[in-house]
Structure 1
Amino acid sequence: MTPQVKAILANYESDNPGVKANLARILMQGHLGGTGKLIILPVDQGFEHGPARSFAVNPPAYDPHYHWQLAIDAGLSAFAAPLGMIEAGAGTFAGQVPTILKVNSSNSWAQGANQAVTGSVEDALRLGCSAIGFTIYPGSDHLNDMIGQIRDMSAEAKSVGIATVIWSYPRGGILPKSGELALDVGAYAAHMAALLGAHIIKVKLPSDHIEQKEAKPLYEGTDWSKQSDRVKHVVQSSFAGRRIVVFSGGAAKGEDAVYQDARDIRDGGGNGSIIGRNTFQRPRDEALAMLAKLVRIYKGEE
């Protein structure tokens, strides 16, 4: 184990050896193993957007084994997916890449910002997962219910040595669409995930917009035009960097934008990317080339 990983694990002062071992599995895996940086492949978009919108552009991606193999061949840190997709490859790929069981999901037809619980800690244990993943929607009218769910599931996971990843995506309630990516809102969302006991926090890259009236005076006088500075603030809001923070790749975009995001995450002190559609919606050779370049960026080689 490298000094970088030992330093990260030391920040998790209350956790048992099982949780720390599973965090170490993720942090020591693949081409970024030992660096303190991560690239995670998440493939839960089919639940929310449907299979055609997720996979039709690259038909081999309809097969769960495609994603397992992509994560392994690219030397990624972990593979995150809902129950059925993990089950579909758990035997063939056992032990080849750490897995994160996404235990709640939404769908594009539902009204209101909410997610249904679709997996359990027992499932994660049975399938050999290193962590559970759970989405919360700060701002949603359903947030209190979601907080209760992750409180119970995270406590159960920790008791059996499994880590917790929280996707924290502000939306719903009185928060307007224009404020979902605001810097102050994103920092608040990351802090909320840290307060809920997340070991790894997943948030979206924030814009330079400040949404909350009460927060605006606190952000005045600072130039937030650089994305790396905005990343630094989100990391600061996650217990001053004592928690692992990874940033979503978001909707499909051009290669140059993906690479610049990674440089900004690196330079801002973020721990890496959790990037799905921008890889698996590309042909396999292009996805592998992109992921290889992202590894080099996080290593400081590009």
Structure 2
Amino acid sequence: MSTQLKHGETLARIESLLGDEAASLLEHQSRTIPKEKLHLPGPDFVDRVWALSDRPTPVLRSLQALFNHGRLAGTGYLSILPVDQGVEHSAGASFAPNPDYFDPENIVRLAIEGGCNAVASTFGVLGAVARKYAHKIPFIVKINHNELLTYPNKYDQILFGTVEQARDMGAVAVGATVYFGSEESTRQITEIAEAFAYAHELGMATILWCYLRNPKFKTPEGDMHTAADLTGQANHLGVTMQADLIKQKLPERNGGYLVLGHESPYGKTNKKVYEELTSDHPIDLVRYQVANCYMGRCGLINSGGESKGKSDLQEAVRTAVINKRGGGMGLISGRKAFQRPMAEGVELLHAIQDVYLAKEITVA
């Protein structure tokens, strides 16, 4: 079977999975921020973008290690398996659908067999199997978590270990979450900015989960935790903290500043954000997230979201198409992959990667 035919079959499968949205997502041409203004992913991304920055040489090596592994090696795109849910959402809630993943070795095996660029997980998971796997797939250690065992639940990200521990187990990068918009955000920003600066000193790359968290963001007009303007600003703050990669939820709406500022002043924005720099199209909303990552100088990886069962494959491929066509750098998808038999998880991860390997799917 020819490579061209394989490519054609891959595109046909992607179109089938997208269903009624196929034409809208695959043929959309952005009229907001031109793709020519973006620093787009590519095989030379580290040389073209990060080599011009203040990042120490060992950090460039660590970034290149991420880009050079798995099925997407050499493309400039990333497919990362994140499994920190055992802490974040409880091990029972996370692993009961497939108890095999109580064993951390299976998490790393899924990332390897799934062709991922890296595996992102906890000190406990990666530390338990470090000597067997740290040289076989890049490790990203998530250094803080929301433990959710405090009663009543308290939504805060706290450190679970040190940057030195991540370095000593062979990690090429550390990851962390900041809940922007929360009462604890000032401490978290300060804490993680210091941790990221130290990680760079030690030669590791940094990835920031730039999540919004405030109960008042849930409004009658919609949940503004996924508004493009607010998540875009969270991205901008994350890059300012010297994250090398930004993880962000896929935007589902816009106008967060406008809705939250309707009754009392909140933040600042500009009408051009809504009239010229964005539209209602999901690709244009992701494009605005990318623009806030210094026009793509810091890569945007969107999260895969929770597992919903039968629709997971379609949703994962849809998110990948939107991210790629918006100018993003890849997907970091966990629950959709590990809350099912390993063979099915591998198939889902490969389907995500196929979107980034398909040359027919271009930046809008």
Q: How many angstroms apart in 2 are the aligned matches of 1:143 and 1:297?
A: 35
CA shift, 1:205, in A, is: 0.5
Q: Which residue of 1 aligns with 2:272?
A: 218
Letter of the 1:292 counterpart: H
Letter of the 1:6 counterpart: D
From 95, 103, 118, the equivalent of 2:160 is: 118
Q: Which residue of 1 aligns with 2:184?
A: 142
Residue 317 of structure 2 corresponds to residue 272 of structure 1: no
Compared with structure 1, are the counterparts of its residues 224 and 92 closer, same or farther at alpha carbon in structure 2 (3 Å cutoff)? Answer: same
> Which SS does the other structure have where 1:180 is aligned?
helix
Flag structure 2 segments of 5+ consecutive residues without an equivalent: 1-41, 259-267
Q: Which residue of 1 aligns with 2:252?
A: 207
Q: Which residue of 2 aligns with 1:249?
A: 304
Q: Which residue of 2 aligns with 1:194?
A: 239
Residue 338 of structure 2 corresponds to residue 291 of structure 1: no
Q: How many angstroms apart in 1 are the aligned matches of 2:80 and 2:159?
A: 22
Q: In the TM superposition, what are the counterparts of 1:144-163 in structure 2 within 5 Å?
A: 144-163=186-205
**RMSD across aligned positions (CA):** 1.8
CA shift, 1:216, in A, is: 6.7
Q: Which residue of 1 aligns with 2:48?
A: 7
> Which SS does the other structure have where 1:100 is aligned?
strand
Q: In the TM superposition, what are the counterparts of 1:65-80 in structure 2 within 5 Å?
A: 65-80=105-120
CA shift, 1:58, in A, is: 1.0
Q: How many angstroms apart in 2 are the aligned matches of 1:18 and 1:158?
A: 8
CA shift, 1:112, in A, is: 4.1
CA shift, 1:109, in A, is: 3.8
CA shift, 1:147, in A, is: 1.1
> Which SS does the other structure have where 2:180 is aligned?
coil
Q: How many angstroms apart in 1 are the aligned matches of 2:358 and 2:49?
A: 19
Please report the TM-score for the alignment, with normalisation by the length of structure 1.
Answer: 0.94
Q: How many angstroms apart in 1 are the aligned matches of 2:178 and 2:294?
A: 19
Deviation readout 1:167-193 (Å, 9 max, x if unpaired): 110112753362111111110111110
Deviation readout 1:55-114 (Å, 9 max, x if unpaired): 111121111000111111111111111101011110111311001111001122444431
> Which SS does the other structure have where 1:50 is aligned?
helix
CA shift, 1:241, in A, is: 0.8
> Which SS does the other structure have where 1:23 is aligned?
helix
CA shift, 1:230, in A, is: 1.1
Q: Which has the larger radius of gyration?
A: 2
8 Å contact 1:113–1:172 — kept in the other structure?
A: no
8 Å contact 2:46–2:60 — kept in the other structure?
A: no
Deviation readout 1:232-279 (Å, 9 max, x if unpaired): 110011101110110111111312111111111111110000100010
Q: Which residue of 2 aligns with 1:53?
A: 93
Q: How many angstroms apart in 2 are the aligned matches of 1:88 and 1:101?
A: 12
CA shift, 1:151, in A, is: 1.8
Q: In the TM superposition, what are the counterparts of 1:148-187 in structure 2 within 5 Å?
A: 148-172=190-214, 174-176=216-218, 178-187=223-232
> Which SS does the other structure have where 2:314 is aligned?
helix
8 Å contact 2:290–2:328 — kept in the other structure?
A: yes
Flag structure 1 segments of 5+ consecutive residues without an equivalent: none
Task: Tell me how many residue pairs correspond in the alignment.
Answer: 301
Letter of the 2:143 counterpart: V
CA shift, 1:127, in A, is: 0.3
Deviation readout 1:106-137 (Å, 9 max, x if unpaired): 12244443111002111011100011111001
Letter of the 1:86 counterpart: L
From 13, 20, 28, the equivalent of 2:60 is: 20
Q: How many angstroms apart in 1 are the aligned matches of 2:252 and 2:347?
A: 28
Letter of the 2:247 counterpart: K
Q: How many angstroms apart in 2 are the aligned matches of 1:129 and 1:94?
A: 7
8 Å contact 2:303–2:332 — kept in the other structure?
A: yes
Deviation readout 1:200-234 (Å, 9 max, x if unpaired): 11111111231112537333335632211111110
Please identify, of 104-113 and 177-186, the stretch whose mean Cα deviation from structure 2 is larger: 104-113
CA shift, 1:2, in A, is: 3.8
Please report the TM-score for the alignment, with normalisation by the length of structure 2.
Answer: 0.79
User: Which structure's residues are more often helix, by fraction?
Assistant: 2
Q: How many angstroms apart in 2 are the aligned matches of 1:6 and 1:289?
A: 32
